[in-house]
Structures are given as structure tokens and as C-alpha cells.
């Protein structure tokens, strides 16, 4: 499995924006209860979503750069898990490069090397181009699954649907 870049909000400035402002802009009056369903579902499976801790809605370009970096190190899954934990349960500010370096260290990456990478522009154009390509291919949100580069599924899906797509992709392979 590979994680590919797709920014939900590429127009957010690099330093992020206040979470309250983001929710009001995106959801208007219904924004207050927009995450309740996710919190309830999380409780059922032991994920303590803590949206109240989120103070900044980040621009995720550097997060995606870091995922690309982690892929070269064979640590994408570990980093994804730590990024999700940091953002959704700890309220970490993922727009902050020092925070990203710390989260990367928790995933088993070298903090100093990550900090140097994030301080550079390395892979920035590559990630921006991959994001544009995803949008050009019709991807408009996450999660989005692509099986064997042939079968695409958008949104949260039940396990049976995912299994069917995997089996179809295998059948089309050979």
C-alpha cells in the first residue's frame, strides 16, 4: 500500500488558519455539530477524537511532503498513524514544522533529518503536481482507494465493498 498526496484545503495559508474560522467558513451554522457523528463512531472503535483540542486547521503540503519522505524510508504507515493521532486526538498543530519533525520521530524517522528536509523546498513541486494530477483524475475527497491502478472507490466504505473492489482488481489483472 502507498499513501498518495491529496490536499483537502490547498488554499489554506502555510501556517494554517484558526480551526473555528475554518469550520464556520466551510460548514456555516451547522458547523458546531459537524464532527459529532465522527466522535460517536470513534468511541465505538476506541478512537478518542478530540476536535475541541484542534486550534489550527493546517495546510497539509508539508505533511504530504513528509509522507513522501517517510515512503522512501519505508515508514509511511507508521507516520500516517502518528499524524492522525497527533491531529485528531492531541490537537497538534501540523502546520508547524517542529511539530511535524517531532511526530516523524515518534514514527521512527530521524528528527534532525526530517527538520532539515522540511526546512528545504525538496519535493514540494512533486507533491503539488501529484495533487493536481489527482484532481485532474476526478478525485475530489478522501479517503479514495485505488486497487491495482484500475478500480477506484471514494469515501468511507464497508469492508465487503472494499473486498469486492480488491477481488475485481485481481480478476482484471490476469
What is the mean pLDDT, run by run of 10 residues, along the chain of 174 residues?
87 95 87 82 93 95 98 97 97 97 98 98 96 89 84 84 89 78
Query: Domain segments of the chain: what residues?
Result: 17-137, 143-174
**C-alpha distances out from residue 136 to 25, 96, 132, 153, Å:** 25, 29, 6, 16
Q: What's the confidence (pLDDT) of residue 60?
A: 96
What is the pTM assigned to this prediction?
0.86
- Residue 88: the pLDDT is 96
**Contact status, residue 66 vs residue 28, Cβ threshold 8 Å:** no
Query: How far from chain centre, in Å, is Cα 53?
Result: 18
Residue 83 CA to residue 78 CA, distance in Å, equals: 9
Q: What pLDDT does 85 receive? A: 97
Q: Report the pLDDT value the prediction gives residue 103, as an integer from 0 to 100.
A: 98
Q: Which three cell numbers stand for residue 18?
A: 484558526
In CATH terms, the superfamily for domain 17-137 is Glutaredoxin (3.40.30.10)
pLDDT for the residue numbered 174: 63
Amino acid at each position: 500500500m502507498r499513501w498518495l498526496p491529496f490536499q483537502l484545503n490547498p488554499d489554506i495559508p502555510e501556517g494554517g488558519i484558526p480551526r473555528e474560522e475554518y469550520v464556520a467558513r466551510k460548514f456555516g451554522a451547522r458547523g458546531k455539530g459537524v464532527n459529532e457523528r465522527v466522535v460517536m463512531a470513534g468511541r465505538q472503535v476506541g478512537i478518542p477524537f478530540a476536535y475541541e483540542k484542534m486550534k489550527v486547521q493546517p495546510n497539509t503540503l508539508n505533511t504530504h511532503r513528509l509522507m513522501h519522505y517517510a515512503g522512501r524510508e519505508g515508514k509511511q504507515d507508521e507516520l500516517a498513524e502518528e499524524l492522525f493521532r497527533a491531529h485528531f486526538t492531541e490537537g497538534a498543530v501540523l502546520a508547524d514544522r517542529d511539530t511535524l519533525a517531532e511526530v516523524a520521530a515518534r514514527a521512527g524517522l530521524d528528527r534532525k533529518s526530517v527538520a532539515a528536509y522540511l526546512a528545504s523546498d525538496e519535493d514540494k513541486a512533486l507533491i503539488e503536481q501529484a495533487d493536481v494530477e489527482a484532481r485532474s483524475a476526478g478525485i475530489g475527497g478522501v479517503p479514495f482507494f485505488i486497487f491495482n491502478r484500475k478500480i477506484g472507490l471514494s469515501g468511507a466504505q464497508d469492508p465487503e465493498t472494499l473486498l469486492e473492489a480488491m477481488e475485481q482488481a485481481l480478476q482484471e489483472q490476469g
